[in-house]
């Protein structure tokens, strides 16, 4: 099986149980080995008391892209830590696009950069650290 097919099957297996991303209206737009793109629109219930998109929503979209990217090898992987830098506020109706890219992966540890944009504007930069914990997302077929 090609690395791209492994990534696709891993994402399909993860998506089935990812009720949080589904509930938040996220869409997995692209997946590949060590990379993932997620989109989500800021809805009315995602706006805070300042009438801007809640930072936690931006974090969630970035975190989901990170999760799909670091699980793209059919190895169960979780976050060991993450940080985000907000660059500008989001607004009701904005479509957030989070693109996760693997920076490094060594042994059971990985580092992933996620850029969140609205149109051409970068709204947040996220760095996630991952840890493989053992197990697989789906059973590979043996020939």
Residue 140 covered by a domain:
no
CA atoms within 13 A on the CB side of 42: 25
Give, in degrees to the nearest 5, the angle at Cα 15 between 9 and 20.
Answer: 160
Residue 38 within a domain: yes
Task: pLDDT band for 142, please (50, 70, 90 cuts).
Answer: low
pLDDT of residue 14: 97
In a domain, residue 118? The reply is yes
Q: Could you tell me if residue 143 is inside a domain?
A: no
Counting residues of the chain whose pLDDT is more than 70, the rounded percentage is 99
Segment holding 81, helix H or strand E: strand 77-86
CB–CB of 10/138 below 8 Å? yes
Question: Could you tell me if residue 121 is inside a domain?
Answer: yes
Q: What is the mean pLDDT of residues 91-106?
A: 98
pLDDT confidence tier of residue 96, bands split at 50, 70 and 90: very high
Nearest to 132 by CA among 102, 108, 112, 103: 108
Tokens representing 25 are 């209206």
Query: Per-residue pLDDT for 20 more than 80?
Result: yes
**Residue 57 included in any domain:** yes
- By CB atoms closer than 10 A (0-12, 13-18, 19+), residue 82 is middle
Checking if the pLDDT of 143 tops 80, the result is: no
Say if pTM beats, i.e. exceeds, 0.75.
yes
- How many separate domains does the chain show? 1
Contact 80, 138 (CB under 8 A): no
Domain containing residue 65: CATH number: 3.10.129.10
Q: Are strands 35-41 and 77-86 parallel, antiparallel or unpaired?
A: unpaired
Q: Is residue 139 part of a domain?
A: no
Per-residue pLDDT tens digits for 35-88: 999 999 999 999 999 999 999 999 999 999 999 999 999 999 999 999 999 999
Q: Which domain does 47 fall in, by range?
A: 3-132
């Amino acid at each position: 099986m090609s690395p791209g097919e492994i990534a696709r099957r891993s994402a399909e297996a993860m998506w089935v149980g990812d009720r949080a991303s589904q509930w938040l209206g996220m869409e997995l737009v692209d997946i590949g080995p060590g990379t993932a793109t997620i989109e989500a629109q800021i809805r009315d219930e995602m706006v805070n008391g300042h009438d801007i998109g809640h930072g936690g929503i931006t974090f969630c979209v970035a975190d989901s892209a990170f999760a799909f990217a670091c699980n793209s090898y059919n190895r169960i992987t979780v976050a060991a830590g993450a940080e985000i830098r907000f660059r500008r506020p989001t607004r009701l109706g904005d479509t957030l696009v989070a693109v996760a890219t693997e920076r490094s992966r060594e042994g059971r540890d990985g580092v992933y950069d996620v850029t969140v944009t609205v149109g051409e504007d970068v709204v947040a930069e996220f760095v996630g650290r991952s840890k493989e914990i053992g197990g697989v997302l789906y059973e590979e077929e043996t020939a």
